[in-house]
Amino acid sequence: MQLADLFTPQARELAAPIWAAPPQAGAIPLISLAYGLADPVMLPQEELVEAAAQITANDVNEVLNYAPDARRLKTLIAERLCQEGVAANERQILVAYGSSQILGLLPHVLINPGDTVLVEAPTFMGAVRMFGRAGARLVGVPVDAEGLDVAALDAILHDLRAAGVRPRFLYSIPTFQNPSGATLSLARRQRVVALAAAYGVLVVEDDAYVDLRFRGEPLPPMAAMDTDGWVLRVGTFSKILAPGLRVGWAHGPKALIDRLFMFKPEGTSGPFVTHLVAQYCADGRLEAHIAALRFHYAAKCALMANALRRELPEATFVMPDGGFFIWLRLPEGVKSSALYPVAIEHGIEFLPGNRCFSDGRGDEHIRLAFSETPAAQIEEAVRRLGQAVAASR
Amino acid sequence: MQLADLFTPQARELAAPIWAAPPQAGAIPLISLAYGLADPVMLPQEELVEAAAQITANDVNEVLNYAPDARRLKTLIAERLCQEGVAANERQILVAYGSSQILGLLPHVLINPGDTVLVEAPTFMGAVRMFGRAGARLVGVPVDAEGLDVAALDAILHDLRAAGVRPRFLYSIPTFQNPSGATLSLARRQRVVALAAAYGVLVVEDDAYVDLRFRGEPLPPMAAMDTDGWVLRVGTFSKILAPGLRVGWAHGPKALIDRLFMFKPEGTSGPFVTHLVAQYCADGRLEAHIAALRFHYAAKCALMANALRRELPEATFVMPDGGFFIWLRLPEGVKSSALYPVAIEHGIEFLPGNRCFSDGRGDEHIRLAFSETPAAQIEEAVRRLGQAVAASR
Structural domain contains residue A383: yes
Statement to judge: residues B53 and B37 lie in one domain: no
- pLDDT at residue A20, rounded to an integer: 59
Across the interface, do B43 and A53 touch by the CB < 8 Å criterion?
no
pLDDT digits (tens, 9 = 90+) for A100-152: 999 999 999 999 999 999 999 999 999 989 999 999 999 999 999 999 999 99
**Euclidean distance between CA atoms B303 and B382, whole angstroms:** 10
Statement to judge: residues A239 and A200 lie in one domain: yes
Q: Is A194 helix (H, G, I), strand (E, B) or coil?
A: helix
**Euclidean distance between CA atoms A182 and A179, whole angstroms:** 8
pLDDT digits (tens, 9 = 90+) for A269-298: 999 999 999 999 999 999 999 999 999 999
- Residues of A in Cβ contact (< 8 Å) with B1: 166, 199-200
- pLDDT at residue A28, rounded to an integer: 76
* Cα angle for residues A17, A21, A25 (degrees, 5° grid): 145
- pLDDT at residue A27, rounded to an integer: 64
Q: Is A338 helix (H, G, I), strand (E, B) or coil?
A: helix
Give residue B368's pLDDT band: very low, low, confident or very high (50, 70, 90): very high
Range of the domain at B383: 22-44+287-392
Statement to judge: residues A241 and A332 lie in one domain: no
For residues A89-128, one letter each, b for 16 or more C-beta atoms within 10 angstroms of the residue's C-beta and e for the rest, the string is ebebbbbbbbbbbbbbbbbbbbbeeebbbbbbbbbbbbbb
Q: Is the distance from CB of A39 to CB of A240 less than 8 angstroms?
A: no
Statement to judge: residues B192 and B312 lie in one domain: no
pLDDT > 80? residue B19: no
Give residue B28's pLDDT band: very low, low, confident or very high (50, 70, 90): confident
Give residue B347's pLDDT band: very low, low, confident or very high (50, 70, 90): very high
This prediction's pTM: 0.96
- pLDDT at residue B22, rounded to an integer: 56
The CATH number of residue B379's host domain is: 3.90.1150.10
Statement to judge: residues B368 and B225 lie in one domain: no
Using CB atoms, which residue from B98, B244, B372 is nearest to A63? B244
Statement to judge: residues B231 and B137 lie in one domain: yes
* Cα angle for residues A89, A92, A98 (degrees, 5° grid): 115
- Residues of B in Cβ contact (< 8 Å) with A68: 21
- Specify the DSSP class assigned to residue A342: H
Give residue B24's pLDDT band: very low, low, confident or very high (50, 70, 90): low
Whether the CB of A35 is below 8 Å from some CB of chain B: the reply is yes
Residue at which a domain ends, from A260, A283, A306 = A283
- pLDDT at residue A2, rounded to an integer: 93
Structural domain contains residue A176: yes
Count of CB atoms within 10 A of residue B66's CB? 21
pLDDT digits (tens, 9 = 90+) for A303-346: 999 999 999 999 999 999 999 999 999 999 999 999 999 999 99
Whether the CB of A266 is below 8 Å from some CB of chain B: the reply is yes
Question: What is the C-alpha R_g of chain B?
Answer: 21
Q: Is the distance from CB of B269 to CB of B69 less than 8 angstroms?
A: yes
Residue at which a domain ends, from B284, B316, B349 = B284
**Euclidean distance between CA atoms A190 and A196, whole angstroms:** 10
CB contacts < 8 A, A to B, total 244
Statement to judge: residues B276 and B317 lie in one domain: no
Mutate to test the interface with A, among B266, B276, B324, B373 (most CBs of A within 10 A): B266
Structural domain contains residue B177: yes
Statement to judge: residues A56 and A133 lie in one domain: yes
Catalogue the E-assigned strands of chain A.
31-32, 93-96, 116-121, 137-144, 147-148, 169-172, 202-206, 231-236, 248-251, 325-329, 348-349, 351-352, 365-369
What type of residue is B276? L
- The residues, any chain, with a CB within 8 Å of residue A229's CB and separated by 6 or more, are A252, A253, B3
Q: What is the full DSSP assignment across B291-343?
A: HHHHHHHHHHHHHHHHHHHHH-TT-B-PPPSBSSEEEEEPPTT--HHHHHHHH
pLDDT digits (tens, 9 = 90+) for A55-89: 999 999 999 999 999 999 999 999 999 999 999 99
- Residues of A in Cβ contact (< 8 Å) with B60: 40, 43, 45
Structural domain contains residue B12: no
Statement to judge: residues B233 and B89 lie in one domain: yes
- Average pLDDT taken over every residue of chain A: 95
pLDDT digits (tens, 9 = 90+) for B299-314: 999 999 999 999 999 9
Instruction: Name A328's bridge partners.
Output: A366
Give residue A17's pLDDT band: very low, low, confident or very high (50, 70, 90): confident
The domain tally of chain B equals 2
The CATH number of residue A194's host domain is: 3.40.640.10
Q: Is A198 helix (H, G, I), strand (E, B) or coil?
A: helix
Residue at which a domain ends, from B284, B303, B338 = B284
Q: Average pLDDT, stretch B329-340?
A: 97
Query: Judged by CB atoms within 8 Å, which residues 6-25 of A form the interface with B?
Result: 6-11, 14-15, 17-19, 21
CA dihedral (A239, A136, A265, B278) positive or negative: negative
pLDDT > 80? residue A21: no
- The residues, any chain, with a CB within 8 Å of residue B118's CB and separated by 6 or more, are B138, B139, B140, B141, B153, B156, B167, B169, B170, B171, B201
**Euclidean distance between CA atoms A113 and A91, whole angstroms:** 30
Give residue A29's pLDDT band: very low, low, confident or very high (50, 70, 90): confident
Across the interface, do A271 and B60 touch by the CB < 8 Å criterion?
no
- The residues, any chain, with a CB within 8 Å of residue A118's CB and separated by 6 or more, are A138, A139, A140, A141, A153, A156, A167, A169, A170, A171, A201
